[in-house]
Every structure is written in structure tokens, then in C-alpha cells.
Structure 1
């Protein structure tokens, strides 16, 4: 093992090592970041950081938690941590999670936390609350030291000199940046914290059963798979409520569970603290469970088995749901109907939603269990509609130009705003009396598209209620979608700070000058 390899520690080992060093009287300095490119500014930052103490520790953000913009990180986490460990001024290096930015600083508890000027400026814009030491959110009792380095941003450098987006996308980003500032977008998202939202829809328990192929069966034309393991996620309206709770302060969820095999404990444990669920129960039925069998190596779905009863509720149970909506919906700033067509939202409930909601936002999803039977046209004059291309085409029964379909569907629904995601083609949206606005794809890596449309709806609907223009809604929807397709199913929500980091990178001067190359066009919401 090389001497630099000995510097690389696991997270728990690093915490113990720092504690031991501090007990010996050593002053420990911690620096934290992506460290995707070791340029002169990074070297200067590390040198200045080391001079502040006896030991310099560098924590490297794990690949899945990097939110510095498109195509990042360029180098995988193993190479990034190895590169840092090879530098003489770095004593220890470690790969860490960064779901909550800078959370590792509080756990490692260094004497000094060193930040670069560029990062400090950016983080004050994006993570203002995290930077308030007195709240104890991240830094604990560590002294914060700001290095001078160079006025040299790694993100800006990589955005400027690496090929990420084609020319059309660069032109689009420049135009968006000229018309809408980062500060305006952040202010809009921050203002949603005071909003009270009602989400109604079909809660779904998503199971991923991972398998690996073994060979062809001898007596049937099928591939035999070896079962490996499984994961369970709270999807459907459960996921919608959690996404919304990341930007709105008070979320009430109206949904169904089954009386048999309800899995209520699991579902409740998945909610964010500001989600208040109101469960109704379908007698003699399980909660909705969708089991997907997945090729572990590629994350490709092999087949799906649904456990559900998609008939409407009996009259007395429907009346109980209606009574709750009539009482709660008028108290809310907006209502989101996350309609998967699995029996909760009946024609009568649709009428009550329209009558009781100040602002009604609707997503009717087409899936394998309801194709052709769960169309947006069953709603009357919703304020906001979010669909994908297939759902829009089914509603209009048309294979024609999508631009015309979007415009005609918006007119038919008499909706204030319609957003349609177009997969690898991007997204489009139209407001009353407007021509359609188009946004190109922004995702550069696709892990899983399940749940991405729900994330887009969950963010764009509340932003619509603020009166944001259509072109900005389409852009922000694409930003959220690009983040969502990097998450396996509904393993976690798209968080506000992720959205802000991505927007900041896209609208920065470096992003506007990115060189031309088409991104991965496999699929996106």
C-alpha cells in the first residue's frame, strides 16, 4: 500500500482519528468540497488551510451528492480522494455523504473549518441558513477560516472549458439568464415556506426486487434470474407530499391505505416532519404495492406486478373523503391532485376539489394499470396542469405536432397554465393566450426515471401559484427533472438546496460559455 493510500480513511475511522489528534493537542483543520479539478486556486487554498493548524483533513463529496451543475463530477469519487491524498499538505482524506451540506463538519468536529472565497460567496447565496453558526446546523464550535486562494472557481472553469451542452442549449441558458436572475428564483422558492398545501392522491409503495440473469430456461422461452435483494420506497402521492414539503412549510396529505397489509408504519416513517397525513382505509384490500423486478447491473426494469384495487370507494367512504376536503381545502393556498387513477379520486371528488380549492393543480398519470382510462379531460378548468407527452397525446387522441397538441389541450381544459415534459426532447409549457415555450433537456446522467414527473409537478405547481412566468416554470421544471432522474425511484426527495445549486451553476457566467457537445440523451422527464 502506498503512503498516500494510508491517508485515505473511512468516515468512522476519520472521526475517531480527529478526536484522538485533538486529545493530543493537535490543531485539526478541515476543508470540504468536490475537488474535481486540482487547479492553482485549490492548491493555494490547501496550503493556506494547512498553515492554520497541525493537521489538514480533506473531505470529498460522494458522487451522488455532487450538485455543482451539469456533467459533474468529471472524475469519480475514488480518483478525487486519491488525488488529494497524494498532495503533501493533506494529512488525511475521506469520502463523505453530503445530503445535508456541510453536515460532516459537525460530526468530525475540527478546530478550524477552511473555506475558499468563491465557495463562501456561493454558499451564502444558496445555503444562507446553514452558514449561521449560532443555529448549530453544521459547524458546531469550529472556527471558520476563509482562504484567499485565487478568484478561480472550479465550477466556472469546468463549465467554461468542458463540453457539456450543444449550442442551442447554451443559447437557451444565456437567454434565461438574461431574463431571470438567480436571486429572483431563490426569493420565489424561499417565499413558499409560508404556504399551506393540500395534496390528494394515490399513495404507492414501490418495491424494487434486484436480480441478475443466470441463463435461458431449458423448457420455456424465458431468462432465469437469481434473486439478490430488494428496496422499498414511498411513491405516488406519498412522494409528491415529501417533495412539496421540501419547499412549502405546511403539507396535508389525503390518501388511501388498505386495511389488510396497510404498511402504515413504514409509510408514516417516510414522511418529512411537516407532512400531516390523513389516511382513509379501503376495506378488505392491501395498500397499493407495485413490485418491479430490476436487473441489478443496469437498473433496467424486467417486469412489474401490481397489488391494487382500482375501483372507486363505496359511497360512505367517499363521503368521508369529501367532508374532509370541504373542510381543509379552503384553508390551503393551493391543492395538488396527484391522480394515478387507482380509485381514490372519483368524479364527485373532482367536483368538490374544483369547488373548494383556491388554486387547483392537477397531474393525471398514465401507467400500465390505467392506460387510456385516466385522462386529464375528466377535470374541469383546473388552474394548473402538468403532464408528460404521452398523457397529453392520449387526452387529445392525436399523433400530430406536440406544439399544436399542447396549445389545443390548454384551450380545451381552459387552464391558466399547462406544462408538458417531453423526455429527451426537454419540456414545453403554455399560458392562457400565449405561444408555447420550449426548454431543452438539462440532464446529463439518467439513473432512473420513475418518480421524476412527480418531482417536477411538486415543484412547478407551487411556483405557478406565485405567478411566475411560463418560460421560468418550464426551465425550473427541467432543472428538477434533471436532478430527479439521478435518484433511484423515490429513494429520497429533490431538495431545495440541490435545485438552487444547479440553477446557480446553469445561470453563472461560466455556464453561459460552455462548449458544444450533446449530453447523454437516453431519457429525461
Structure 2
């Protein structure tokens, strides 16, 4: 990656200890004024605030609240703390920037003892709020002074973000990659390392069918639609398409599943075998192969007909599958749970016990409209639920995304959590030190135009899994997984994503970054 303009400003971002050494003790010859806020979006009101503050002292210190203490809205902050700090450091009139890891600025105020602390006019126009009084009390203890900047116009960052969230996905990506010393060539190298890795996928196969029709009309006496049958197309879905994604990425894939003794049995086995997946299907004559048939007319889904049996597999089948799990040599084991009989409270303990030693363990529980809980797969190396599945697992519909991810990480006892947030991208949690900002990072969606989001989670899971085995980097895994998901979203249907598809995403992201470095901005 080319040298970033960010390097010009990083020297202004300091710790509290560094600032105390630079500023010296109070009273001092050069006056210091301090501002504090979230600064999720720096708007004209903030600029006026900074200009007025700098006019009152020699040195302006801008302090910002760390990500972990921001609770405005489920998806805030919109801009991560590292990038918010760089945004402030880029202002010429701001001398130093401090990321405050406390929930209030009181501790750093007492530690640094600025001559002045600047507040916006809105904090005094209706009487002094309790929090502002606490700040004033700290200042009075050593002789500092509170200054209120003029504010005939008050701007709200929250209002601006809710009105039109700024598109800063390139800036976020650049900041994350630079922080972890990653390059685009490094991402390309990671793709090459995936070839030949051995993965065992165990899970529910779904045959997804699309029956195309044309609307004829309806009955006059009853509310019955009439359509003309035009054709039907069947696709291998569920855990089967996860196996295909992994194979398309270059892995050697073994797939173990349960199928019925029906027309779809050979369709699944032959289709996977032709694709290069080693398929081991246990045939259960008491249940059908799961089939979900969408009736489509004029591009609209009129109806979906499900043929399935969600009852648990019997003990004989459970033993046959767990024996295969225990005996199959692989680099990674993926439990792909769609709650169609293989995984449930009765069987999961046996599946956990069967996992071979020193195997990278991955779980994905796509519950949709059924009962399922990702936290039942405890102690796994990687889990990739979406927000709805996380809230379902924790019975939590209210928490913000970071607290939700923290709770799920702890409940599942996993090593890496990639929480899928739809068009907002993903949030990754890598350790249980949730008060530490290093525990989380966000990667925005790389999708330019959504054609069909079906299967994007399967693509993410596959490329994230192989990336983790190949590199051990959760950052690379999240970026490449997100790029694979974007490639899937931009095609119609759940088609296996190839390394060439991901390389196109890498090339596109690099073009955006290089464009920014050329001195131009994005629209």
C-alpha cells in the first residue's frame, strides 16, 4: 500500500502520559485549552468551536470518547476511534489529539490540568447540567477555568448521520490495514495460500428450487391466483453450497450430510462430485431430502413450498456421522447448521465430542424461522452469525451492536466472532477484553450494487475460514470474507465464489485507495 497521508498527522495523536510530559505542570507559560466530544462527524459547529477555543490559548488539545463508551444508537460510532482521531489531527488549529478511554473526561482533565476547558453554548444555555458541573468542579480544584464557546447555531452529529450516513468505507479499510501492516498484495498472497487446504463440512443439505411461472389471472369466486408453469431450476444449497464455495476457493473438501431416498439424492451427490467435492451422504429413508421450492411470477416470489422433516436424526445415523467426523483428517471442520435434523440439543454434545484434536473449528447456525442457537457450539475458533441470529441466541433485541457482540463472544466462548450486519458490513471481535478498543474492528460492506444477497453469508464463512487457516489473521479473514460476500451479492443466485471473483474486489478496493492517495476525494 502506498504511503498514506495519514502519516502526516499521526504524530499529533498522543497518550495522556505523553501529553502530560509535553504540556508540563500547571501553571505553565503557554496556556492550554481542552475540548472533548465524540466527533463522529466533524461538522461546521465543531469547527467554530475549535476556532474559538484556539483563540483563547496557545495549545489546543482535542479529546475524543473511545468507541466502547459510545451508546448513541445501535450502530454508533459510525467512524471508529482511530479514524476520528486522524480526522481531528488533520486540522491545523488542533495541536494534539487524545483518545479518552474513560466514560467521562474527568480523569484526564485532572491529570493534564488544562488552563481552560471549552464547552459548547448549548451546555449552559438552559442551566449547568450535572455532567458539566462535575467538569467545573475538577477545574476549580487546581484553578482551571471553563469557557463556553458562542453557539447561535447548534449542529447535531447524530442528526446528520441519521439523515445521510457518510460513505467512508475506503478510509476505514485503509486505517485498519495500515494499523495491521497489511497490503493489497498481502491479501492476494493469502488467496494463493488457500489452495489445497483440507476442510470437512458437516451439515444440512437443502435443494433450493425456483419454479418460474407467468400470471394468468384469478378465480372470480375464490381468491385463487392462476399461473402458467414455465419451468423449474434446482440448486444445491444449505451446507452443500458451503462445501462448493470452499472447493471453488481451492480447498480439498469432504462433505458429510443426510439425504432422503428420493429424486434429489442423486442430484446432490452427482452435483457435488462433479464439482470436486468428496461427498459422504447418509441415506435416511424415513425423511425427504430438504427441498424449498419458490414459486416465482414476473420476478416476484408468490409462494414457497417446503418439503422437509426437521425431526432429529436417529442414534444410528448420529453415530455414523460422528465416527466420520472423528476419523476424517482435515485442517478445518465446519458445522453448517440449518436445523433440519442433524444439529439439535440432543446431538450437538456428540458432535462436539467427535471433533479431532488440532483442527480449526467453525460453526454457523442459520436459524431463519426455526429454533437454533449458535452459542450451543461452544469453544469454536470461528463463528459467523448475523445480527438476528445473535439477538435470538441471547434473547436480546435492545442492545447496541458492540455490547451484543461482547455478550455473544462470551456466551459462545469462541476465539473469533464475525458478526454479519447486512448492508452495514461486519463487526469482528477477537478477544474478551471488551473494554479495550483492540477487541473490535469493523469492515464496511464492499457491495456496490446488490443484485441478490442470498448466499453472501456462505461465501463469507468459506473465505474467512480458509484465510484464518492460511494466515492466522482475523483481519485478513474479515476483509477477504467480506469481499467474497460482496462478490456473491453482485450476482443473481447462490453461485460459488472463486479467487478470481475476490481478486476483482481487491483490485477495485485498491483503485479507490490509490485514487484517494492521488489527492482526490470520493463523491
Q: Distance in 2 between matches of 1:436 and 1:217?
A: 56
Worse-matched range after superposition: 275-284 or 474-483 = 474-483
Shift of 1:166: 5.2
Structure 1 residue runs of 5 or longer lacking an equivalent are: 1-164, 518-525
1:424 matched residue in structure 2: 423
The higher relative CO (CA closer than 8 Å, separation ≥ 6) is in 1
Matches within 5 A, 1:88-237: 167-176=167-176, 178=178, 179-221=181-223, 223-237=225-239
Distance 1:486 1:195, change over 3 A: same
Structure 2 residue runs of 5 or longer lacking an equivalent are: 1-164
Distance 1:317 1:167, change over 3 A: closer
Q: Distance in 1 between matches of 2:441 and 2:480?
A: 13
Q: Distance in 1 between matches of 2:291 and 2:350?
A: 23
Maintained 8 Å contact 2:207/2:264: no
Maintained 8 Å contact 2:373/2:392: yes
Q: Distance in 2 between matches of 1:375 and 1:352?
A: 18
Shift of 1:481: 1.1
Question: Over residues 320-358 of structure 1, what are the superposed CA-to-partner deviations in whole Å (9 max), with x where a residue is unaligned?
Answer: 112111111xx2111011111111232244223445561
Maintained 8 Å contact 1:190/1:247: no
2:321 equivalent to 1:318: no
Distance 1:482 1:267, change over 3 A: same
Shift of 1:510: 4.0
2:363 matched residue in structure 1: 362
1:16 matched residue in structure 2: none
RMSD of the TM alignment (CA)?
Answer: 2.3
Shift of 1:467: 4.4
Residue correspondences, number: 345
The ranges of structure 1 where at least 4 consecutive aligned residues each deviate by more than 6 angstroms after the TM superposition are none
Shift of 1:225: 3.5
Shift of 1:483: 0.8
Q: Distance in 2 between matches of 1:203 and 1:391?
A: 20
Q: Distance in 2 between matches of 1:446 and 1:226?
A: 29
Maintained 8 Å contact 2:467/2:473: no
2:505 equivalent to 1:502: yes
Matches within 5 A, 1:110-509: 167-176=167-176, 178=178, 179-221=181-223, 223-271=225-273, 273-297=275-299, 300-328=300-328, 331-345=329-343, 346-354=347-355, 356=357, 358-368=359-369, 370=370, 373-399=371-397, 400-432=399-431, 433=433, 434-490=438-494, 492-508=495-511, 509=513
Shift of 1:498: 0.9
Q: Distance in 2 between matches of 1:435 and 1:211?
A: 50
TM-score (norm. length: structure 1): 0.61
Aligned partner of residue 168 in structure 2, secondary structure: helix
Shift of 1:271: 4.3
